[in-house]
Structure 1
Amino acid sequence: MLSKTTWFPALLLAGLGALNTLAFAPFTYHMLPLLTLSVLAWYLLQAQNPKQAALFGYAYGLGWFGVGISWVHVSIATFGGMPLIASLAIMAVLVAYLALFPALAIWFSWRFRGNFWYPLLLASSWFIAENIRSWFLTGFPWLSVGYSQTDGWMAPWAPVVGETGISFLMLLIAGSVAVAVQRKLWVWPAIAAIVLIVSPALDTIKGWQETGEQVKVALVQGNIAQDLRWDPEQEAITMRKYMELSRPHLNADIMIWPEAAIPQLEPLALAYLFNLDMLAAENNTAVVTGILDYKENGDAYNGMIVLGKSGKEATGGDYRYSTSNRYRKHHLLPVGEFVPFQDVLKYVAPLFNLPMSSFSRGDWLQPNLQANGYSLLAALCFEIAFPRQMIANFNDNTDFLLTVSNDAWFGDSIGPHQHLEIARMRALELGRPLLRATNNGITATVAADGKELNRLPQFEEGVLTGDVALVQGRTLYSIWSDWPVLILSLFSVGFLSLRRYQLAKQAK
């Protein structure tokens, strides 16, 4: 049975973890995680053993993810074909799994609670645990604490160390506050204060500048109900709607349609595509659209293609079914786009037997899309949450970041707001404007500094138009990625673990 010194802090930390949700979109309490993490770091110092410390971290994680990603339940319950109790059980398993990562970081850090370097060890352990979360079992890096700073005080750090580096700094600050309260040790709080004080000054080294060129864009939001998207009787209606919405805006330099906007497999939609290709070329524009492709060998891809002009000098439409000017999604969504352990799990419930849940994976490295002379770094839906994939495909010639999505799966929840916030962080990290086209919202344009330029209302059809400024140059983060913080974290954990082992051996 848990004692009061265990269950009370655990309940408190679960509540504080839940409060973290208010730090992310659509809410605005950006500095809240610094408070909740500081309390967690302090309770770590009070823990009597590593098991209790891990429990504190796990409780914090349960609150953090249990409330923060509660929107996942919407898609499971509404479109998964499962009874309520089963969908809640799946949600509970997901939250219980994600909570393991903060528990792991806290469990490891407890061993260094008396060490002068405790704040650095806490930040390093957290950084490593979050990196594991971002790739293990394909990865789910959603709601990492650094995203709370997209509009926060520490946002200027993003072009230097990225969102993951901001998370590291936030844990460093939290650990510094804890040792100041516990031991009256002021060296680390002084370092934490410097981190916060210099944040505004980092705007001067963002690494990019505007070229003076403005690009006219048009982003189409069809607002097709999820239960109608793949209804064969709705195919012609949907395709006609996108064409009609687009015609008045063919004067744009680039037009973007959302993920799988065309509800036919690419080989079956060729007549429609060639017509759109010719129409776009005649109007000196390019249309980038999401579409599903199915090959004769059985490979299926969720991808994007470019219709109309690929280059400024093109005299006609450049689309061919064999074209390489396309993007194929690499980071597939578990269950939604592929079923892990398919032979076992597909019989559990209709959720694991959904149509279009057996996609093939595109390459890790793919050329930027070429649309009317502009280079677009593409990411489909969930992929925008993986900064290293974006950096791997980023180059000096990249003009825009492009992400298309269908967030109709998540209804009127906080999920789409968090999704846009993640996309905005990528723009801030890489110093490039971002175009985001979705089926039913949130469709938006974002400047190279991560600031939202404009958006369409959710759950309404429409076309978002506007001029977006091009930039040139590279942010430091686009050059060195996570490597500096990763090396520091691994060195800190490795060196201090070795030192602890040596001291323990000498004491015997």
Structure 2
Amino acid sequence: MINAVKDAFINKANWLCFISGFSLVLAYAPFSLWWLALCLPLGLVHCLYRAKSNKEAFKYGFIFAFGWFASGISWVHVSIDQFGGLPLAISLLLMLLLCLYLALFPALACYLTQRFSNSNNKLWLLPSFWLLSEYLRSVVLTGFPWLSLGYSQIDSPLAHFAPVIGEVGITAIILLINISLYLIISANRVKIEANVASNIIPSTLVLMTIGIATFVFAKTTWVTATGEKLKTALIQGNIEQSMKWQPENEWPTMLKYLDLTRVNYDADLIIWPESAIPALEPTVQDYLSTVNSSAILNNSTIITGIINYNFETKEYFNALITLGNTSSNNEQGYYYNHNNRYYKNHLLPIGEFVPFQAWLRPLAPFFNLPMSSFSRGDYVQANLQANGLAILPLICFEIAFPHQLAANLTDNTDILLTVSNDAWFGDSHGPHQHLDIARMRALEFGRPLLRSTNTGITAVVDHFGQVTGIIPQFEQAVLKAQLDIVTGKTPYSQWPQLILSLMILMPLMIIKGISARQLN
């Protein structure tokens, strides 16, 4: 056993995989060295090509992915350490277990690649199996699709593929680029292996095809501006997480948001962040009625996060509600339990619900965080109606699930909205990654997006995925901007499931067909 551990630590291939994966965090925000994603996976590709067995391929994929997640989602530790009430050793152990779990999915992709490849098609099956494993990562145990490779390319030329094949398609392209580069580089060595040399032409064709498609998609317009503009104001209250749910801070917080709003009623749409109102909806009806009347008087609409509690069913909901004008010109505007609201569907484990809570809650404060017993809203809900516009809302973590967004997108959807409270993650790279995920959704679905957060990063994103206005972290401010309303649909917004299925299945069928002909 000791010798096996020692061998693992001195194995150069293991270190190559780990360092390649660990360094990959630099390709994502806030570093945004996107070009690293086009070369760092070469370490994994090299080891996978040299793998002698399914077990060895699994090992290389696991080590690469463990380094990738250990650096890439280290921000999760901030919430555990600062708000979980756990000893440092235990919080680090939980992070270790999370990274080990997530590493299983890329390891599975590498295992399947080795298992179903032969000397002629080795590596080319990796993109398909990688996308399959990424899909599994997004659904198993409610899913955690964070840090997918494609998100690193939101500011690269490959971003032009997003409206056509989505972020998942960009992930496949990144792998294809790394595989092609590896095979071309390997073929130029002094000693050329026959099976590597035979891949020079297809590798070159792959790179040329990607380059041509990038140029074509960069010149293609999928949606067009209608000429209509919307005045928006996004309020960032900058309430410290440790103070947010203190009873004595309830009214000061609510008055702060009201004061910041009063001087911005020239905006058609005003957004407050997730749970901006730190009180249960039924208990602050007088306050909500006042805000509602003020918004109506100024011909504006306010959308705010709040916690609703149903006294009959004894259920909590993480909610968004509208105050003021709606498309129906209803002078009453808001009233308790009106239908113009949204309940979060995709709840965050531990933070919003606790699996096996009868066992876990007594163990530590980490399993008893404030508001960690929510019920789920419906997967498909009506768009919010605000000042004549249809707004598709998602709360916090939900923006990482494009299929949920697609299920709620309608022909009339004008704007995407995501609200969050990233104060849980402090001054880490988590909020920056979160913003890039939201930007990718705007680009994929061809709709402008508003992102309102408690402590930052609040931003306005156009339908090209570009940030047109931003409030940095840990500042109290109001972001005012004008949005262009657009019309039209991107290919990805219409068929996301079909596109994913085809990208997984078609390469497998083509490569297997070619292999069968070669055997004959």
Task: Pick the TM interval, shorter chain.
Answer: over 0.9
Partner of 1:369: 384
Q: 2:29 matched to 1:13?
A: no
Distance across 1 between alignment mates of 2:516 and 2:112: 14
- The equivalent position to 2:440 in structure 1, one of 412, 425, 429, is 425
Root-mean-square deviation (Å): 2.1
Could you tell me how far apart the structure 2 residues matched to 1:76 and 1:487 are?
Answer: 39
1:392 aligns with 2:407: yes
Alignment partner, residue 177 of structure 2: 173
Which aligned runs of 4 or more in structure 1 are off by greater than 4 angstroms? Answer: 2-6, 491-504
Q: How does 1:144-293 map to 2 (within 5 A)?
A: 144-180=148-184, 181=186, 183-184=196-197, 185-186=199-200, 187-293=202-308
Offset of residue 32 of structure 1: 0.9
Aligned residue runs from structure 1 range 6-405, under 5 A = 7-180=11-184, 181=186, 183-184=196-197, 185-186=199-200, 187-296=202-311, 297-311=313-327, 314=329, 316-405=331-420
- Secondary structure of 1:189 counterpart: helix
**Alpha carbons of structure 1 residues 315 and 344: separation in structure 2 relative to 1, 3 Å:** closer
Over 3 Å counting, the alpha-carbon distance change for 1:50 and 1:498 in structure 2 is: farther
Taking the aligned partners of 1:473 and 1:450, their CA distance within structure 2 comes to 16
The 8 Å contact of residues 319 and 344 in structure 2, kept in 1 or not, is answered as: yes
Moved more, 2-11 or 54-63: 2-11
Bigger mean CA deviation after superposition, 32-41 or 177-186: 177-186
Q: What is the match of residue 191 of structure 2?
A: none
Q: CA deviation at 1:201?
A: 1.9
Does the CA-based 8 Å contact 1:161-1:482 persist in structure 2? no
Match of 1:275, as an amino acid? T
Whether the 8 Å CA contact 1:119–1:172 is kept in 2: the answer is no
Q: Indicate conservation of the 8 Å contact 1:6/1:52, yes or no.
A: no
* Pair 267,60 (structure 1): closer, same or farther in 2 beyond 3 Å: same
- Aligned equivalents of 1:120 and 1:496: distance in 2? 8
Amino acid in the other structure paired with 1:163:
E
Shift of 1:340: 1.1
Equivalent-residue separation in structure 1 for 2:123 and 2:64 (angstroms)? 18
Kindly state the Cα deviation for residue 176 of structure 1 after the two structures are TM-superposed: 2.3
Number of aligned residues: 504
- CA displacement 1:114-168 (0-9 Å, x = unmatched): 3444444110000000000011000000000000111112000000000011111
Q: 2:465 aligns with which of 424, 444, 450?
A: 450
The residue matched to 1:440 in structure 2 has which SS? coil
Helix, strand or coil for the counterpart of 2:460?
strand
Per-residue deviation, residues 192-243 of structure 1 (Å, max 9, x unmatched) = 3311332132033341011111110000000001011111111110000000
Indicate conservation of the 8 Å contact 2:48/2:123, yes or no.
Answer: no
Q: In structure 1, what residue type is equivalent to 2:262?
A: R
Specify the code of the residue in structure 2 equivalent to 1:403: T
Show CA shifts across 1:43-95 (max 9, x none): 11111211111111111111100001101000000000101001000000001
Q: Distance in 2 between matches of 1:177 and 1:261?
A: 49
- For structure 1, which segment, 16-25 or 281-290, has the greater mean C-alpha deviation from structure 2 after superposition? 16-25
The question of whether the paired residues in 2 share the 8 Å contact of 1:206 and 1:431 is answered with: no
Q: Do residues 413 (structure 1) and 428 (structure 2) align? A: yes
Task: Please state how far the C-alpha of 1:109 moved relative to its aligned partner.
Answer: 0.7
Does the 8 Å CA contact 2:8/2:14 hold for their aligned counterparts?
no
Gaps of 5+ in 1: none
The 2-side partners of 1:5 and 1:248 are apart by 61
What residue in structure 2 maps to residue 435 of structure 1?
Answer: 450
What CA distance in whole angstroms lies between the structure 2 residues aligned with 1:254 and 1:228?
A: 28
| Offset, 1:425 | 0.3
TM-score normalised by L of structure 1: 0.95
- Cα distance per residue 1:4-23 (max 9 Å; x no partner): 89821111211111111111
**Gapped regions of structure 2 (runs ≥ 5):** 188-195
Distance 1:111 1:178, change over 3 A: farther
Counterpart CA distance in 1 for 2:54 and 2:363 is 37
- Write the deviation string for residues 331-386 of structure 1: whole angstroms up to 9, x where unpaired: 00000000012122222221112231110000010011001111110000000000
Query: Does structure 2 retain, via aligned residues, the 8 Å contact 1:160–1:206?
Result: no
Q: Which range is displaced more, 479-488 or 161-170?
A: 479-488
Cα displacement (A) at 1:170: 1.4
Contact 2:442 2:464 in 1 (8 A): yes
